[in-house]
Amino acid sequence: MPFIVDFWHWWILGVGLIIIEILLPTFFALWMGIAAFITGLFLLLFPDLSWQYQLLIFALLSIVSILVWRQYYRDHPLLSDQPNLNKRGEQYIGRIITLQTPIVDGVGKIKLDDSTWKIQGVDSPVGKKVRIVALNNVVFTVESID
């Protein structure tokens, strides 16, 4: 006896995919779950739909919905009131510091909060005030402000 796929099978798959999305938020399983729900709706409206067409509908809806979401997200990125929240080094750009160690041959070190950072800039003595102007990987670029 062949296995017959009913509309509720697709809805169970949709619920499973949305649960996966809740547990592992990727915005990938969500669209596949929605595609499964819509495929189940197609099967509810057209009960004689063969499993090959059901699979085709599911695959096409999944691909199209994921591509549409990616394009929408690229055109309308989420904005944050704290865009540097998880970019620790970038939070220090613009900060004025007093050198505790000199910059020699364009390289030095500074202590910010609980971390020591490498800096690059014009040779400067201890006590000189500098402004952090850029971050290249884990090295700050500083400029003298006097």
- The neighbouring-strand residues paired with 139 are 118, 136
- Token couple for 127: 């006590």
The predicted-structure confidence for 13-60, as pLDDT tens digits, reads as follows: 999 999 999 999 888 899 999 999 999 999 999 999 999 999 999 999
* Full-model pTM: 0.60
CA distance 103 to 109: 7
- Residues carrying CATH 2.40.50.140, the chain: 83-144
What single string gives the DSSP state of each residue in the chain?
------HHHHHHHHHHHHHHHHHS--SSHHHHHHHHHHHHHHHHH-TT--HHHHHHHHHHHHHHHHHHHHHHHHHSPPP-S-TTTT-TGGGGTT-EEE-SS-BBTTEEEEEETTEEEEEESS-B-TT-EEEEEEEETTEEEEEE--
Question: How confident is residue 7, by pLDDT bands cut at 50, 70 and 90?
Answer: very high
The predicted-structure confidence for 78-124, as pLDDT tens digits, reads as follows: 887 877 677 788 889 999 999 999 999 999 999 998 889 999 999 99
Question: How confident is residue 1, by pLDDT bands cut at 50, 70 and 90?
Answer: low
CATH domain 83-144 topology:
OB fold (Dihydrolipoamide Acetyltransferase, E2P) (2.40.50)
